[in-house]
Amino acid sequence: MKIPLSAPDITEAEIEAVVAVLRTSRLSLGPVTEQFETAVAAGVSSTHAIAVNSGTAGLHLCIRALEIGEGDEVIVPSFTFIAAANAIRYERAVPVFVDIDPETLNIDPGRIEDAITPRTRALMVPHTFGVPADMDAILEIAQRRGLLVIEDACEAIGAEHRGRKVGSLGHAGVFAFYPNKQITAGEGGVVVTSNAAVAGRIRALRNQGRYPTDDWFQHTELGYNYRISEINCALGLAQFKRLEQILCKREAVACAYNQRLSSFQHLTLPRLALPFGRISWFVYVVRLAAHLDRDAIVRDLTAAGIGCGRYFAPIHLQPSYAGWRNSAGLTVTEAQASRTIALPFFNNIETAALDRVCGILARLLQRQRG
């Protein structure tokens, strides 16, 4: 029995929504896109929402629309998906990596001040694995130092920080809907912001730089084809309507894992709850004791047909970031990243699959301990 790392949860409602779009003549920038945007904006308590073709595109458009450009510095953790740093580099800005909190694995607010220079323009704040970052501390620093805040909420739709939805707390936020996410649009993302000017510019930039006053062959500024189809939005909208149900299902899977793994020695499990917010479970990541061979266990799990992943390989150690290889002060990032394993995690994973994953992991841990 092969168990995937992730799997989308598609019901007849999603299939019917997609088919309904296919029966129309409007497959791009139509009414379903507007409905999806309206639903997401309302759901996260933001004024504006702009649907795009990926979370990466959304992050890029935030950087450009906020006029972060060549030579500007943006503080970001290295322990996150590479798209966060790539989006900064697309505009010839400079990602400045800071270390993470060893418990939440989010950016450590205590490390931000030391990384600020006269060239710092913004903070890019991922909510890692759906765990809300410490936004009180981050926003206080940003306000005091005159910095922009972009929330990378691509893994965190529905997460909350002190009763407020993540993504809506900074100057702009981005959600993503790749098939491994809590809800999916197949591909796609949504940018949210309460700044009308920023929202208007992002709408133009996603559609080849066209503003509402432009005709189809007039382009006020350099833009991109970051549009998303009506088909994707139909799927995303149907999924978004089930978001609360889906989040509860995923939390239940996390609890089931913790129950099975709580007695395992040499294994650190994720926290199931936070005092200041709500987790939106994206992945279930355990951390091995430092003396164990994480990569060997990943290989053995894969050989047994169990999907797993190293979440995350630090960005500053990637080949495409050779110039950042000697980034200083990332000891927590490097130590924690070398210990992480993401286990199979999706809405409808069966009890037998959970038992198999945990049983095989137990045997592998016992083998390494001798």
Q: Tell me: pLDDT of 99 over 70.
A: yes
The residue among 284, 289, 291 whose CA lies nearest residue 306 is 284
Q: Tell me: pLDDT of 268 over 80.
A: yes
Q: Please give the pLDDT value at position 144.
A: 98
What CATH number does domain 12-98+105-240 carry, 3.40.50.300, 3.60.21.10, 2.60.120.380, 3.40.640.10? 3.40.640.10
pLDDT in tens, 41-84: 999 999 999 999 999 999 999 999 999 999 999 999 999 999 99
Rounded Cα–Cα distance for residues 126 and 206 (Å): 22
Percentage of the chain beyond pLDDT 70 is 100
Number of neighbours of residue 348 by Cβ within 10 angstroms: 10
Q: Mean of the pLDDT values across residues 15-32?
A: 97
The answer to whether 162 and 142 have CB atoms below 8 angstroms apart is no
- Give the active site residues: 181
Percentage of the chain beyond pLDDT 90 is 96
Positive/negative CA dihedral, 329, 333, 336, 337: negative
The CATH topology of domain 243-369 is: Aspartate Aminotransferase, domain 1 (3.90.1150)
Tokens 């629309």 — which residue? Answer: 65
Q: Is the peptide bond before 312 cis (omega within 30 degrees of 0)?
A: yes
Q: Mean of the pLDDT values across residues 18-47?
A: 98
Q: Tell me: pLDDT of 298 over 90.
A: yes
Q: Mean of the pLDDT values across residues 197-224?
A: 96
370 confidence band (pLDDT: 50, 70, 90): low
List the chain domain ranges: 12-98+105-240, 243-369
Q: Tell me: pLDDT of 326 over 80.
A: no
Q: Please give the pLDDT value at position 247.
A: 98
- What tokens were used for 328? 């200083």
pTM above 0.95, yes or no: yes
- What tokens were used for 161? 């920080």
Q: Tell me: pLDDT of 1 over 80.
A: no
Of 81-90, 132-141, 309-318, 322-331, least confident by mean pLDDT is 322-331
Q: Please give the pLDDT value at position 350.
A: 97
346 confidence band (pLDDT: 50, 70, 90): very high
- Classify strands 284-288 and 267-268 as parallel, antiparallel or unpaired: antiparallel
Average pLDDT across the chain, whole number: 97
Output the CA angle 275-279-280, nearest 5 degrees.
Answer: 165
Rounded Cα–Cα distance for residues 74 and 183 (Å): 29
